[in-house]
């Protein structure tokens, strides 16, 4: 029993290290916004869609959507690019695209909480996404997954 407890305690920090934190998500978003401003829309979207560092790191990734709900970049789920967030709902029924743009009507940045599939664990997990409007019709986001509470 003692060996099992020690093994469990040693595995938790290793698993936790594979997850991005909310602070790291905010930092990645700030880097993405700065990159967008520096290189412009076309190059930034291409870079984000490359799915490489620094736009994807473990379970953190940049994704961008237009105000009409079209996904223009998604480093975590590239097959979503070109699709609409109109049908994107988490397991509780929350409309993610609508929630983001409703918040952006009030100010140019913010966050939402929802349930989403973690690209690393392939499990539905709680997530907080931070977003910022980078153009009148485009916002970029990065979110951090939280380990499910047992």
Residue 83, Cα to own-chain centre: how many angstroms? 16
* Residue-by-residue DSSP string for the chain: -HHHHHHHHHHHHHHHHTSPPHHHHHHHHHHHHHHHHHH-HHHHHHHHHTT-TTSEETTEEEEEEETTSBEEEESS-GGGTT-BGGG-B-TT--BHHHHHHHHHTT-SEEEEEEEEE-TTT-SEEEEEEEEEEEETTEEEEEEEE-PPP-
Q: What is the pLDDT of residue 17?
A: 57
Residue 136 falls inside a structural domain:
yes
Q: Which domain holds residue 97?
A: 22-145
Confidence of residue 13 (pLDDT cuts 50, 70, 90): very low
Residue 34 falls inside a structural domain:
yes
Residue 9 falls inside a structural domain:
no
Confidence of residue 3 (pLDDT cuts 50, 70, 90): very low
Convert the pLDDT of each residue in 23-33 to its tens digit: 999 999 999 99
Give the total number of structural domains in the chain.
1
State the CATH number of the domain containing residue 77.
3.30.450.20
> What mean pLDDT is predicted for residues 106-133?
89
Residue 66 falls inside a structural domain:
yes
Residue 4 falls inside a structural domain:
no
Residue 94 falls inside a structural domain:
yes
Residue 6 falls inside a structural domain:
no
Given a cut of 70, is residue 53 above it in pLDDT? Answer: yes
pTM to 2 decimals? Answer: 0.81
Residue 73 falls inside a structural domain:
yes
């Amino acid at each position: 029993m003692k060996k099992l407890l020690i093994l469990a305690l040693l595995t938790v920090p290793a698993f936790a290290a594979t997850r991005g934190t909310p602070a790291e998500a905010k930092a990645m978003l700030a880097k993405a916004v700065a990159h967008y401003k520096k290189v412009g829309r076309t190059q930034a979207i291409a870079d984000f869609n490359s799915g490489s560092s620094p736009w994807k790191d473990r379970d953190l990734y940049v994704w961008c959507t237009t105000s009409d709900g079209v996904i223009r970049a998604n480093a975590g789920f590239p097959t979503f690019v070109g699709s609409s967030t109109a049908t994107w709902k988490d397991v509780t029924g929350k409309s993610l695209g609508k929630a983001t743009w409703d918040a952006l009507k009030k100010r140019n940045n913010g966050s939402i909480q929802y349930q989403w599939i973690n690209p690393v664990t392939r499990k539905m997990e709680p997530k907080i996404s931070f977003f910022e409007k980078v153009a009148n019709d485009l916002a970029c986001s990065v979110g951090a997954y939280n380990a499910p509470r047992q």
